[in-house]
Amino acid sequence: MLTLASDFGSPYPAAMRGVLCQRTDARLVDVAHDFPRQDVRAAAFWLRETLPYFPPATHLVVVDPGVGTDRSAIVVRTGEHALVGPNNGVLRPPARRLAGDGPIETYVIDETRLDPVEPTSGPSADADILGTDASGDGDGGPTSNTFHGRDVFAPAAAAVHDAPLSTLDDLAFLAPAESVVELELPTATVDAADDRAHGDVLVVDDFGNVITNVPGGYLDGRERIRANGDTVPVGETFAAVPVGDRLATVGSHGYVELDVNQGRGDDAFGLAAGDEVVLEPTSGR
Amino acid sequence: MLTLASDFGSPYPAAMRGVLCQRTDARLVDVAHDFPRQDVRAAAFWLRETLPYFPPATHLVVVDPGVGTDRSAIVVRTGEHALVGPNNGVLRPPARRLAGDGPIETYVIDETRLDPVEPTSGPSADADILGTDASGDGDGGPTSNTFHGRDVFAPAAAAVHDAPLSTLDDLAFLAPAESVVELELPTATVDAADDRAHGDVLVVDDFGNVITNVPGGYLDGRERIRANGDTVPVGETFAAVPVGDRLATVGSHGYVELDVNQGRGDDAFGLAAGDEVVLEPTSGR
Amino acid sequence: MLTLASDFGSPYPAAMRGVLCQRTDARLVDVAHDFPRQDVRAAAFWLRETLPYFPPATHLVVVDPGVGTDRSAIVVRTGEHALVGPNNGVLRPPARRLAGDGPIETYVIDETRLDPVEPTSGPSADADILGTDASGDGDGGPTSNTFHGRDVFAPAAAAVHDAPLSTLDDLAFLAPAESVVELELPTATVDAADDRAHGDVLVVDDFGNVITNVPGGYLDGRERIRANGDTVPVGETFAAVPVGDRLATVGSHGYVELDVNQGRGDDAFGLAAGDEVVLEPTSGR
């Protein structure tokens, strides 16, 4: 199984699917292609929360604001999962979650040793275009500087999928990585003295639910909390409050969410990804 | 075959796909994940019009504004199709269409008897989060109160898919349902005296076509009709009128649609889902 | 393998998937369903740039502003690929790219000889609707005038997929096409005297990158160019300029693109699909 995730929107994922179908018989499953554009942190969060629900697979991830720079392309192996993507940190939070207490091995991709991606067609009537060196690097190769999803990550993922995970070292285009870009999602702190939680909005989901990094346990035993100054009820479900009302609840990722029953929490709380959140007990408890 | 439909947007469907891939080898086919949010009636319409084109399958449907309340989760079996989703009526119109004159059997899901959904990873470095009881119900179980698509409906659908349809009774987590929430899409009436049709806008599609519940036969033999007071031509195809002009036609679902050739009918007619529509003969005919 | 592409948005592609799954065991792969609405030229561009990355396949394409008119439905065969769609030119640019120097054969679909598409359900409780002649053409057949993707192209594509490509002539619903609607994407010209390129914006992608039809070779050896009067640097990658700055680069299709590093080129350059673009050397070079 090979999963695909990107911030490409459409139709760029199709070219990746084409290359993958050319190279491997792997079953393809889309995770998402509309991650917030060029937002490495948001993608890392969603992948960390989603990939562990999949059976062992190769996960192709392309959220890559540095495409074409000297950032390297890497393969991460942990347990029976492999992740393929840019070395910009996006693979680290999901890899750590998948690894648990197990090891994480990281390899760097040598693009020049990948079997080059070529369209399947014969010589083109538009040969003036196809014949240009799209890479602009004078070597006449087909690798573009702007679409490594198609030209680098897809062929690498196909090869990784088809290789035994125990022998990734044997793939000619892989070598152990010497440096890996780290990414840590921010964590919340709870002040024992005043029982205040200081956290961040990790992401806002498509429903408008504001997903913080405050562990859900903070809500245990509370009927109300103050969120950035506003008092809202704590509910086990959205339906604990009337339609249109705000609440704090424990979301499906285990964190405190600030939501509106059948409405948008981000609008109602005035919060966006990256914003700070302070939760505190209400005086009346 | 297992179809998926929801109002989740992205990336929540990916977690459902992961759970399904863990539990079954079924082929997965997406119906849609952008049904109008929390709009049970619109989803019921689209599913009624779409699912009958599929071969026998298990259909996973999650449009569930009451998630986490005491609304039950159900499995509906009719013919060689099974539908899995919330007991809020959304499964009824498609089930009736699939059933034709045949029987419909409904089972309620006992969530506590489902094999719990767990991420595939080892113990997490973020154990403080994963270790919390996300359900908040004190039993330490993994079922969230807000994501039954992942935690209840997906594992139930996988098990239903893999079971012979004739032995759903044997599945430990299913019991015959005692009460089923009904949902009837509104029907139009035609007044024989004045030949007026009184109907409703069922949905507006992505093209802006206004799909009413007036049977297409109403347009038989007419060259023009009045729609909420405006006279528009009747056309067999969009192209019966100039680009940008309004028309009434028989849509692909067999109902009268109010459309604009290569434009948006909802804007041109000032109509939205749920609005009333009165069609009447033009005096001149 | 059978790929699907359309401008349908959602959920209409699901009905096509259902029909395809009824008729063939082909693997289904989505190219895109959000091509710019009823924009034959944009779809032709994206298909030309994307389909050649797929292995031999049948490609179902429905971008069809003339649905229900007398435009014919066609099947195009070139090499080991087949394309199925409306005879409005949309299939021509991808077919020519797939063909290279090889031949292209075109067949017209006789809709009346297709095995009619029927829902799989039994007689409907809503028989008053299903029983109407949705086509309005008095023959009682099920073919709609507005959804040929479901009723014509999908069944045709399934049959084409399952037939040996060398015997398409044997399919009863196909006959050699006598006239084929041509579509040529505009090409750019470079004036040798003043080294100016006169071109067009072919499409704007989801990132906002402005994709012109000026061959990438125009940028060879240049550090800056003037684009519609504004001087911008030439970069091999987006990251050649600071975040938020404009640049000209060679895109993944081999053409000059006008982009913004991590921003939208269409907004920054004030350009949309179809606009004219003049590129010229800067005086200082």
Q: Looking at residue B95, which CATH number applies to its domain? A: 3.40.50.10790
**Dihedral sign of CA atoms A77, A83, A86, A91 in order:** negative
Q: B258 lies in a domain?
A: yes
Asked if the Cβ–Cβ distance from C237 to A8 is below 8 Å, we say no
Distance from C-alpha of C285 to C-alpha of C281, rounded to nearest angstrom = 7
Distance from C-alpha of A6 to C-alpha of B171, rounded to nearest angstrom = 38
pLDDT at C122 over 70: no
Residue B121's pLDDT band, with cuts at 50, 70 and 90, is low
Min distance B199 CA to chain C CA atoms (Å): 14
Contact B38/C at CB under 8 A: no
Q: Does residue B26 sit in the same domain as residue B134? A: yes
Contact B123/A at CB under 8 A: yes
pLDDT digits (tens, 9 = 90+) for B3-57: 999 999 999 999 999 999 999 999 999 999 999 999 999 999 999 999 999 999 9
Residue of A nearest to C98 (CA): A121
DSSP state letter for A153:
I
A199-203, C52-56, C62-66, C132-136: least confidently modelled range: C132-136
Report which residue type is found at B230.
D
Q: Which of B187, B218, B213, B217 is nearest to B280 (CA)?
A: B218
Asked if the Cβ–Cβ distance from B215 to C129 is below 8 Å, we say yes
Q: What pLDDT shows up at residue C169?
A: 85
Q: Tell me the residues of chain C between 223 and 282 that have a Cβ less than 8 Å away from chain B.
A: none
User: How far does CA A137 lie from the centroid of its chain?
Assistant: 30
Q: What is the mean pLDDT of residues C199-210?
A: 95
- Which bin fits C228, alpha (ψ -120 to 50), beta or left (φ > 0)? left
Q: Does residue B55 sit in the same domain as residue B32? A: yes
The DSSP secondary structure of B168-189, one letter per residue, reads GGGSTTEEE-S----------E
Min distance C40 CA to chain B CA atoms (Å): 12
Q: C146 lies in a domain?
A: yes
Q: C18 lies in a domain?
A: yes
Q: Does residue A131 sit in the same domain as residue A11? A: yes
Distance from C-alpha of C285 to C-alpha of A148, rounded to nearest angstrom = 30
Residue C224's pLDDT band, with cuts at 50, 70 and 90, is very high
Who's near A166: CB < 8 A, 6+ residues apart? Answer: none
Residue C284's pLDDT band, with cuts at 50, 70 and 90, is low
End position of a domain, from candidates A176, A206, A237: A176
Q: What pLDDT shows up at residue A224?
A: 97
Min distance C124 CA to chain A CA atoms (Å): 34
Chains that touch B (3 or more CB pairs under 8 A): A, C
pLDDT at B110 over 80: yes
Q: Does residue C143 sit in the same domain as residue C262? A: no
pLDDT at C128 over 50: no
pLDDT digits (tens, 9 = 90+) for A180-230: 999 999 999 999 999 999 999 999 999 999 999 999 999 999 999 999 999
* Helical segments of A126-246, H only: 127-130, 148, 154-162
Residue A285's pLDDT band, with cuts at 50, 70 and 90, is very low
Q: What is the mean pLDDT of residues A103-116?
A: 96
Residue B139's pLDDT band, with cuts at 50, 70 and 90, is very low
Q: B182 lies in a domain?
A: no
Q: Does residue A148 sit in the same domain as residue A247? A: no
Q: What pLDDT shows up at residue A145?
A: 77
The DSSP secondary structure of B101-164, one letter per residue, reads TS--EEEEE-GGGSPPP--SS-S-TTHHHHTS-TT-SSS-----SS-HIIIIIHHHHHHHHHS-
Q: B183 lies in a domain?
A: no
Q: What is the mean pLDDT of residues C11-37?
A: 97
Q: What is the mean pLDDT of residues B206-226?
A: 96
Contact C132/B at CB under 8 A: yes
Q: Does residue B119 sit in the same domain as residue B200? A: no
Q: Does residue B66 sit in the same domain as residue B205? A: no
Q: What is the mean pLDDT of residues B72-76?
A: 97
Tally of domains in chain B: 2
pLDDT at C90 over 70: yes
Six-digit token string for C235: 């970069």
Q: What pLDDT shows up at residue A68?
A: 78
Q: What angle do CA C177, C178, C184 make, to 5 degrees?
A: 85
Asked if the Cβ–Cβ distance from A15 to C217 is below 8 Å, we say no
Q: Does residue A51 sit in the same domain as residue A161? A: yes
pLDDT at C132 over 50: no
Backbone angles phi and psi of A17, in degrees to 5: -60, -40
Q: Which residue has the higher pLDDT, C130 or B236?
A: B236
Cis geometry, peptide bond prior to residue C11 (ω within 30 degrees of 0): yes
Distance from C-alpha of A14 to C-alpha of A7, rounded to nearest angstrom = 13
Min distance C217 CA to chain B CA atoms (Å): 38
Residue A129's pLDDT band, with cuts at 50, 70 and 90, is very low
End position of a domain, from candidates B124, B143, B176: B176
Distance from C-alpha of B114 to C-alpha of B112, rounded to nearest angstrom = 6
User: What is the average pLDDT value for chain C, to the nearest integer?
Assistant: 90
Q: Does residue A99 sit in the same domain as residue A240? A: no
Q: Which of C179, C178, C156 is nearest to C168 (CA)?
A: C156
Q: What is the mean pLDDT of residues C235-246?
A: 93
DSSP state letter for A152:
I
Cβ pairs B/C, distance under 8 A: 140
Residue of B nearest to A221 (CA): B136
Residue B70's pLDDT band, with cuts at 50, 70 and 90, is confident
Q: Does residue C69 sit in the same domain as residue C143? A: yes
User: What is the average pLDDT value for chain B, to the nearest integer?
Assistant: 90
Distance from C-alpha of C151 to C-alpha of C154, rounded to nearest angstrom = 7
**Dihedral sign of CA atoms B223, B231, B195, C138 in order:** positive
Q: What is the mean pLDDT of residues A130-142?
A: 40
Structural domain for B95, as ranges: 2-176
Distance from C-alpha of A83 to C-alpha of C208, rounded to nearest angstrom = 28
CB burial readout B123-132, b (16+ within 10 A) else e: ebebeebbeb
Asked if the Cβ–Cβ distance from B136 to A216 is below 8 Å, we say yes
Q: C183 lies in a domain?
A: no
Distance from C-alpha of B120 to C-alpha of B143, rounded to nearest angstrom = 15
Six-digit token string for C97: 């790219």
Contact A186/B at CB under 8 A: no
pLDDT at C142 over 90: no
Q: Does residue A124 sit in the same domain as residue A214? A: no
Contact C79/A at CB under 8 A: yes
CATH number at residue C233: 2.40.30.90
End position of a domain, from candidates A176, A198, A222: A176
Q: B15 lies in a domain?
A: yes
Q: What pLDDT shows up at residue B127?
A: 39
ipTM score for this prediction: 0.91
pLDDT at B88 over 50: yes
Asked if the Cβ–Cβ distance from B150 to A252 is below 8 Å, we say yes
Q: Does residue B163 sit in the same domain as residue B99? A: yes
Q: What is the mean pLDDT of residues A169-190?
A: 95
Q: Which residue has the higher pLDDT, A200 or A145?
A: A200
Q: B62 lies in a domain?
A: yes
